[in-house]
Structure 1
């Protein structure tokens, strides 16, 4: 009997979030049971699609913490993918600021040793801020696989659109590579 593994897909409010349904379908084709978590702004951007995304995943889309004592509506994660991860999300996560649900679960995932992959989505102006490289180094030192630069996302100039799009396939392939082997 084959059981699917659980992928927590966490997304910040960046343009690639609008491709999330296609990404979920690709992850499901790779054998993942996908649970979708969004930052509050990303949830607002996708508000009209949340019901359809919940149907697609078979799980509620989450952007808020559950109340104490409430049962968790998601199965435990086998792996976490945080993409697109904005400048704000990367820095808050690295600093341990967990006001947003996805940041809290990603931070806790480090402590639980859940294999975690992050792929930023930031423009070249943001990456010039000194905190960004420090945050990437902090996440890498904590065991997060960061797909940035030649091995993942390459920043574009502010306002520049990329015709080839966000490298989602690199992220999904990396998720499969870092996840513990299926029993």
Structure 2
């Protein structure tokens, strides 16, 4: 039986590699549903139809209307990566104005295993709220891949999106799915 992976992404440069991540996840046996923040969806606008064809599910960036059926199967695991400064802080504070943040927040309450991997630069992490948000998410049971063994922030303007450790998020999701 195939497990369903919700793959959520924020507007950070590694999101441009999402098709390759979907391919990798599918090779690992996942049925992938892709959700994006509105800005990430805007960045990928020209490729959204192709991403929907790749996953076999509509790409979502907005909440459904009341009464509309859910077009995705239920999640077995959620990966939220890349997760920006805004997404991490909004999620930890329960500010669910974006679909992917809302589903991730609800996933905590539904006991869906969740992996989050930030993509922030070293200037953003100096803001005290970021570390508090990471700690809050971890306290709620979210596996946050930040620091050693996860994403390590770079100095502003020096990031290499191709070095984003997508494989670590997929590995962590596989471990959580087996637990």
TM-score by length of 2: 0.98
Whole-Å separation in 2 of the counterparts to 1:146 and 1:161: 20
Aligned residues: 179
The 1:163/1:93 distance shift into structure 2, 3 A limit, reads: closer
Tell me by how many angstroms 1:162 deviates: 2.6
Work out which of the residue numbers 56, 59, 69 in structure 2 matches 1:58. Answer: 56
Residue-by-residue CA offset, 1:16-37 (whole Å, 9 max, x unaligned): 0000000000000000000000
Whole-Å separation in 2 of the counterparts to 1:93 and 1:124: 20
Unaligned runs of 5+ in 2: none
Whole-Å separation in 1 of the counterparts to 2:36 and 2:24: 18
**Match for residue 38 of structure 1?**
36
Name the SS of the counterpart of 2:82 in structure 1.
strand
Tell me by how many angstroms 1:163 deviates: 7.4
Tell me by how many angstroms 1:72 deviates: 0.2
* 1:168 and 2:166 correspond: yes
**Match for residue 146 of structure 2?**
148
Unaligned runs of 5+ in 1: none
Please give the root-mean-square deviation of Cα atoms over the aligned residues, in Å.
Answer: 1.0
1:1-183 matches, cutoff 5 A: 3-162=1-160, 165-180=163-178
Whole-Å separation in 1 of the counterparts to 2:92 and 2:149: 20
Tell me by how many angstroms 1:71 deviates: 0.5
Whole-Å separation in 1 of the counterparts to 2:34 and 2:51: 8
